[in-house]
């Protein structure tokens, strides 16, 4: 029998252990040496199986096989990279296939991948390395599943589908024939995909409801910390709970002092003041953490629009084609951003505001509730457009502008 170490101590590691027990009943194959887990002290044991401590202990078992029980795709990728650094040579990874799975003889499954109970994997399917295919899911003929992909239990991946690296397909999701899902993208529980999904996106229910991510901070999309706890933070939290298992608020910046949270949580700044928002986002960026972008499922955002990291698009908002919105901005409830608009960083377009085509807005600018800006107008940095104002010509000087037409006060 081959010696095996399970990386991680969680529900998935217990499920893998169950699969191994089933495999060994049919053909004795694996001898479980123990777990390696960075959160559990060496010397403990779980159900009689020893825990050897953190990832550095992998050096002591360099000749054994390993399987990684981290469910989050990006987190798993990071752990595999760490193990390579610690062991310093080629590592043997076990491929675990539950005996009840139906696997075509023409399918190929890479090292470190885990195939759950009663899965169906069709002909000419390629499942690359370190993937997880949950129980009762199916992968159709000719599909390609790249490295570190998770396919949730009961998901249906139809024929000739491509799932990019670190893609995460939720429980019961359906991806129809010939569709592709980009790298680092997440398909929500029960979502149905009938067209291609770009890299770094979250699809909530159907392909038209897409939340684009500029770059997830830690890659761990199961947990999110939101800076702030006011009204804006609460609205963001409601959106975030659609695809984060845990959402917490940070009101005193303790996140920056907690090494256990850094790298384990995504981070978002849910503070209405643009200057404070900028300060915190810049601090996160200095730590290598880039905030995700949230788009409410009730917003209409063109696939031709570009949305920066840390920006939020609220319910009922519309962002049309070729519009570009910078990082850390807010497009509030019912606001409209027409074609070819350029919105700077850390701006706030308030509820019901309307920007016609070709408008350019500078950094830190606020467009008030119900304000309107006619087409092809340019507005400088640090401008406040008052509620209900109408801007009919460009504004080059910072300040507050009110009225119809808007004038400086």
- Per-residue model confidence as pLDDT tens for the chain (409 residues): 999 999 988 899 999 999 999 999 999 999 999 999 877 777 778 888 999 988 888 888 989 999 999 888 878 888 898 888 888 888 999 999 999 999 999 999 999 999 999 999 999 999 999 999 999 999 999 999 999 999 999 999 999 999 999 999 989 999 998 889 988 888 888 888 888 887 777 776 554 444 444 444 344 456 789 999 899 999 999 888 766 778 899 988 777 766 556 667 788 999 999 999 999 999 888 877 778 888 887 888 887 888 888 999 998 999 999 999 999 999 999 999 999 999 999 999 999 999 999 999 999 999 999 999 999 999 999 999 999 999 999 999 999 999 999 999 9
Distance CA 183, CA 189 (A): 18
Whether residue 246 contacts residue 223, with contact meaning beta carbons closer than 8 Å, is answered with yes
User: Which pLDDT value is given to residue 263?
Assistant: 62
The one catalytic residue in 118, 130, 296, 339 is 339
Please, which residues have CB within 8 angstroms of residue 242's CB and are 6 or more apart in sequence?
188, 204, 297
Active site residue 232: no
Q: What integer pLDDT is reported at residue 213 of this predicted model? A: 46
Query: CATH assignment of 2-94, given 3.40.50.970, 3.40.50.720, 3.30.70.360, 3.30.460.20?
Result: 3.40.50.720
Query: What's the first-to-final CA gap in the chain, in angstroms?
Result: 81
List the one residue out of 261, 325, 323 whose CA is nearest residue 293: 325
Instruction: Note whether 129 and 110 are within 8 A (CB).
Output: yes
On the question of a common fold for 2-94 and 97-208, the answer reads no
* Segments making up each domain of the chain, as ranges: 2-94, 97-208, 215-409
Residue 156 CA: distances (Å) to CA of 140, 171, 175, 209, 272: 8, 9, 6, 19, 41
For 113-199, where are the E strands, in sequence order?
114-115, 120-121, 126-127, 132-133, 138-139, 144-145, 150-151, 156-157, 162-163, 168-169, 174-175, 180-181, 186-187, 192-193
For residue 134, give the nearest of 105, 157, 165, 111 by alpha carbon. 157
Structure tokens belonging to residue 403? 């009225």
* Candidate CATH numbers 2.60.40.420, 2.160.10.10, 3.90.550.10, 3.90.1150.10; the one for domain 97-208: 2.160.10.10
| 43 CB burial (10 A radius; 0-12, 13-18, 19+) | exposed
Short-list 94, 30, 27, CA closest to 65: 94
Burial of 28 (0-12, 13-18, 19+ CB in 10 A): exposed
Of 30, 31, 37, whose CA–CA distance to 98 is shortest? 30
Q: What are phi and psi of 255, to 5 degrees?
A: -55, -40
The whole-angstrom separation of Cα 82 and Cα 62 is 14
* Full-model pTM: 0.64
Looking at domain 215-409, its CATH superfamily turns out to be: Hexapeptide repeat proteins (2.160.10.10)
Q: How far apart are CA 280 and CA 267, in angstroms?
A: 10
Quick one: which of 160, 189, 331 has its CA closest to 181?
Answer: 160
- Tell me the two tokens of residue 229: 């706890």
Q: Are the C-beta atoms of 187 and 181 separated by less than 8 Å?
A: yes
Quickly list H helices, 61-147: 73-87
Dihedral-angle region of residue 382 (phi above 0 means left; psi in -120 to 50 means alpha; beta otherwise): left
Report which of 196, 138, 187, 192 is spatially closest to residue 167, judged by C-alpha positions: 187
Place of tokens 């507050």: 400
Cβ atoms of 235 and 265 within 8 Å: the answer is no
**Spatial separation of the C-alpha atoms in residues 403 and 401, rounded to whole Å:** 7
Per-residue confidence (pLDDT) for residue 12, from 0 to 100: 92
| Whether the bond into 74 is cis, omega within 30 of 0 | no
CA–CA distances in Å: residue 263 to residues 23, 260, 287, 398: 35, 7, 10, 39
């Amino acid at each position: 029998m081959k010696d095996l170490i399970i990386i991680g101590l969680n529900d998935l590691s217990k499920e893998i252990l169950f699969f191994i027990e089933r495999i060994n009943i049919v053909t004795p194959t694996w001898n479980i040496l123990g777990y390696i887990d960075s959160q559990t002290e060496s010397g403990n044991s779980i159900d009689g199986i020893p825990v050897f401590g953190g990832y550095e202990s992998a050096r002591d078992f360099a000749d054994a096989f390993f399987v990684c029980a981290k469910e989050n795709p990006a987190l798993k990728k990071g752990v595999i990279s760490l193990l390579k650094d610690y062991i310093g040579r080629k590592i043997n990874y076990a491929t675990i296939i539950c005996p009840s799975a139906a696997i075509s003889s023409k399918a190929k499954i890479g090292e470190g991948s885990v195939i759950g109970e009663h899965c169906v994997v069709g002909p000419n399917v390629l499942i690359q390395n370190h993937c997880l295919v949950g129980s009762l899911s199916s992968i159709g003929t000719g599909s390609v599943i790249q490295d570190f992909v998770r396919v949730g239990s009961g998901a249906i991946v139809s024929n000739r589908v491509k799932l990019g690296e670190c893609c995460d397909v939720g429980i019961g999701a359906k991806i129809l024939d010939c569709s592709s899902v980009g790298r680092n993208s997440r398909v929500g529980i029960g979502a149905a995909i009938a067209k291609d999904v770009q890299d770094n996106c979250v699809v909530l229910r159907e392909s038209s409801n897409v939340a684009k991510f500029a770059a997830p901070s830690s890659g761990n999309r199961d947990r999110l910390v939101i800076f702030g706890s006011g009204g804006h933070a609460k609205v963001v939290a409601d959106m975030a709970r659609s695809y984060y298992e845990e959402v917490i608020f940070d009101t005193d910046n303790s996140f920056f002092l907690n090494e256990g949270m850094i790298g384990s949580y995504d981070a978002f700044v849910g503070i209405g003041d643009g200057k404070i928002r900028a300060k915190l986002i810049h601090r996160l960026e200095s730590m290598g953490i880039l905030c995700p972008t949230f788009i409410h499922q009730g917003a209409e955002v063109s696939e031709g629009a570009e949305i920066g990291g840390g920006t939020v698009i609220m319910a009922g908002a519309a962002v049309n084609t070729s519009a570009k919105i910078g990082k850390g901005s807010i497009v509030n409830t019912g606001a409209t951003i027409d074609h070819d608009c350029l919105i700077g960083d850390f701006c706030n377009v308030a509820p019901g505001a309307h920007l016609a085509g070709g408008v350019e807005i500078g950094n830190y600018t606020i467009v008030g509730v119900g304000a309107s800006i006619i087409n092809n107008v340019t507005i400088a940095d640090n401008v406040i457009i008052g509620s209900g104002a109408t801007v009919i010509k460009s504004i080059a000087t910072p300040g507050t502008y009110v009225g119809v037409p808007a004038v400086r006060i």
